[in-house]
Amino acid sequence: MTLLTHDLYCRHLLGRAQRWYAANVRARAAEPLPFVEESPAENAGPAALGAWLAEGAVRLSETLREAGPDEEMWTWGTARRTGFWARRAVHETLVHRADAAAATERGFTADPWVAADAVDEWLEMLSSPQARTHRPQLAELRGPGRSIHLHATDEVADLNGEWVIEFGEDGFTWRRNHAKVTVALRGPMANVLRVFYRRLPAVSDRVEVLGDARLLDFWLERATF
């Protein structure tokens, strides 16, 4: 992941994304609008940046509530509804909160249900035709007889925090399930998510890798945007 200063991180990866999502939802855009260039004042301090981020979050939340989840519009996923952007914003914020926790050496926690849905969404995006068009390296995630298992160890009733990713001749498929695989990644849901998003090394003692770790590394190197 590219390292940015605190203010650039806030502007480019959170604040502007919030405002861009909101603009697209308000317009019920049929195609992507130009990226929002709005920024906080130059040399804004942490308090001002925090207020700017909060303002963007409120603006986006209000826009999404007004729209509801079912209005038809452009998205980069297969779900062409306004609800796509609510889900995307939650997961975007969650992952960048993990970045902030790592940068400040603070603990990171996440609701297991939200983290599990973030894994679902990530796999949906990676397996979409749009992703394969714009990220040629995803075509390398193929080859029969290889598979990955993600296993969240949280004791949460009905979470079903297990995924199987199977490589085939034409790419990969995935499902929520348990199976014998080439390599398994086990740990608390929040840490499985962080590894999957390349926010935590797979060699971390916060997770456990069982089997051929090279396949997991192969996946992580290519399954990115």
pLDDT in tens, 153-178: 999 999 999 999 999 999 999 999 99
Q: What is the reported pTM?
A: 0.91
Residue-averaged pLDDT of the chain = 92
> For 115-222, which CATH superfamily applies?
SCP2 sterol-binding domain (3.30.1050.10)
The residue to which tokens 């940046």 are assigned = 49
Give the chain's count of helices (H) and strands (E): 8, 5
Over range 132-139, report the average pLDDT.
89
Distance CA 54, CA 60 (A): 10
pLDDT at 11 over 60: no
pLDDT single digits (tens) 32-70: 999 877 877 777 788 888 888 899 999 999 999 999 999
What pLDDT sits at residue 223? Answer: 95
Q: CA–CA separation, 73 vs 61, rounded Å?
A: 17
Residue 82 has pLDDT above 90, yes or no: yes
User: Per-domain residue ranges for the chain?
Assistant: 6-103, 115-222
